[in-house]
């Protein structure tokens, strides 16, 4: 999910950045435009239509919004979770987890496919760290 358009904060990794030492990306991280709350940031997705396939690169739109342009984000990765017994996805979405619980549509125009998704935390397993710290 990390590319030339994202910062560590966008991916929820900002606290891992060195506070005092310089590193590649620090100037980018501190630009006012990269601190905006409505930036695309990492979120998780659960399918509300598990019988339909999810495709990486699908464009994300608010439920009910017209399907034109670049949308509000895109799916970056999809996998079947043996732990959860369902397909889960990660993606970048404008405003990030401020939209948790809301329904969005993942559109894949090359095949004319659309799937309704729910925005969730990108931490699908052990969100409180109970297993990690057992």
Which pLDDT does position 67 carry in this prediction? 94
Q: Residue 115 forms beta bridges with which residues?
A: 106
Q: Mean pLDDT of successive 10-residue segments in the chain (134 residues)? A: 66 72 75 76 94 95 94 94 92 94 96 96 86 78
Residue 6: which residues within 8 A CB-CB, separation 6 or more? 40, 92
Which pLDDT does position 90 carry in this prediction? 96
Task: Quote the CA–CA distance of 23 and 26 in Å, as a whole number.
Answer: 6
Which pLDDT does position 71 carry in this prediction? 95
Which pLDDT does position 18 carry in this prediction? 73
Which pLDDT does position 107 carry in this prediction? 97
Task: Quote the CA–CA distance of 115 and 47 in Å, as a whole number.
Answer: 7
Which pLDDT does position 6 carry in this prediction? 73
115: which DSSP letter?
Answer: E
Which pLDDT does position 56 carry in this prediction? 93
Q: Tell me the CB-side half-sphere exposure of residue 37, using CA atoms within 13 A.
A: 3
Which pLDDT does position 3 carry in this prediction? 61
């Amino acid at each position: 999910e990390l590319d030339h358009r994202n910062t560590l904060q966008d991916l929820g990794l900002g606290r891992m950045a060195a506070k005092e030492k310089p590193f590649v990306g620090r100037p980018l991280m501190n630009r006012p435009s990269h601190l905006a709350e409505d930036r695309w940031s990492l979120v998780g997705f659960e399918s509300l239509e598990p019988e339909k396939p999810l495709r990486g690169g699908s464009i994300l739109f608010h439920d009910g919004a017209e399907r034109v342009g670049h949308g509000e984000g895109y799916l970056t990765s999809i996998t079947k979770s043996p732990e959860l017994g369902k397909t889960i996805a990660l993606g970048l979405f404008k405003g990030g987890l401020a939209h948790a619980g809301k329904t969005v549509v993942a559109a894949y125009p090359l095949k004319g496919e659309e799937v309704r998704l729910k925005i969730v935390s990108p931490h699908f397993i052990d969100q409180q760290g109970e297993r990690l710290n057992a």
